Copies of this chain bind each other. A is one copy, B any other.
């Protein structure tokens, strides 16, 4: 058994409602290949767990606990926002990774994250060549932003999209009832720094109901006058209007409508508050009564309304990572390939990591209506299968039963502690 190489698995960046479904796919598949692969060690808080030799021994968790990851949101082992520098800039970090991998007989590096994590994974995949230590690095896609290239969609996105579509539909029914004497404008702010995929999902609320929705995409420059005209037209026709605004919307000056001035570890502006900005503009320009909501973490953690497609695909990319590892692959990512729309069919393909890292996939202009405020039929065709199906978690006494693992540490073997830069 000791010759069998172990897997290091880590969750990275913002967590999702289904990232643990990928973890479940990795661990269950690795367990089913017991004769060919060793244990799955998870990094406590992502890559930091590797650097600090803080590994979690998932083999100590019961079969039932691992199965429950499939319906548990957020990151069961902890995630982090920590980007490795280039090899030239911080060689010590890479040397440390190799030390930890060697000490724990780790031959596979599975990194479950978005674009920044794909870049980290790519760098690790090159360690084999530069250091001679045999490591296969496989990236497992995850991002609510849906902005990874090559893969048709990203696990994590479908569930956020479903949450936003359902919530926008429900709130629109609400404001429609109130519009006669009270609220006429409802504004919901959604995530999506640069790509408008999540905002687009708000447009799905009108798929089988005639609901007036205006979407503000980060891909479309915000023009106050044109926006107000569009809102007023909807109000004239329907008596009310719902507005889905992406946190990443910018004006002609290139600035975010609302920038709190904070930045995360990757240097991205931390946003929040576009909804109240839009609300106050609507009040000033149209004098209509409004309500606004900011969904924030609620949208990406809402496992209670996860998309079944999303849960299945998240599991499938986790399982595929183990299969690719067993095939001896390095520097790859299992990606989702759409075979057909009706019926919706998909398969897992292998993507070269170098073609994934550091590229953002924006909404194609053909997915956005000509006026810039809605989605097209093509966009609906794309989104619809991704939000399809319900996959409810089990409940006890009114609350979902989400799993908390034991997360027992692997005994440290290195004498030296590592100081994070």
Contacts and interface: CB of A to CB of B under 8 A. Distances in A.
Interface stretch (A84-92, A128-136, A170-178, A321-329): A170-178
Interface in A18-62: 45-46, 48
A364 interface: no
Contact of A80 (B180, B272, B398): B180
A79 B173 CA distance: 11
Nearest to A276: B273
Q: How many copies are assembled?
A: 2
B208 A74 contact: no
A79 B174 CA distance: 9
A24 to B, nearest CB: 15
A195 interface: no
Interface string A67-101: 00000111110111110000000000000000000
Contact of A174 (B48, B175, B301): B301
Tell which of A176, A178, A179 has the most Cβ of chain B within 10 Å. A178
Contacts of A395: 390
Contacts of A205: 399
A180 B293 CA distance: 27
A205 B240 CA distance: 34
A298 B15 contact: no
Contacts of A262: 289
A392 B48 CA distance: 40
A397 B389 CA distance: 7
Contact of A79 (B79, B80, B177, B292): B177
Interface stretch (A224-232, A345-353, A400-408): A400-408
Nearest to A389: B398
Nearest to A162: B398
A180 B81 CA distance: 9
Given A165-B398, A398-B387, A398-B388, A298 B293 contact: yes
B175 A297 contact: yes
A276 B296 CA distance: 12
Interface stretch (A214-222, A302-310, A330-338, A368-376): A302-310
Given A80-B180, A82-B181, A387-B397, 6 more contacts: A74-B173, A80-B178, A170-B297, A209-B402, A262-B289, A384-B398
Interface of A: 11, 14-15, 17, 45-46, 48, 72-76, 78-82, 162, 165-167, 169-171, 173-183, 186, 188, 204-205, 207-209, 262, 264-265, 272-273, 275-276, 289, 291-298, 300-305, 307, 384, 386-390, 392, 395-402, 404
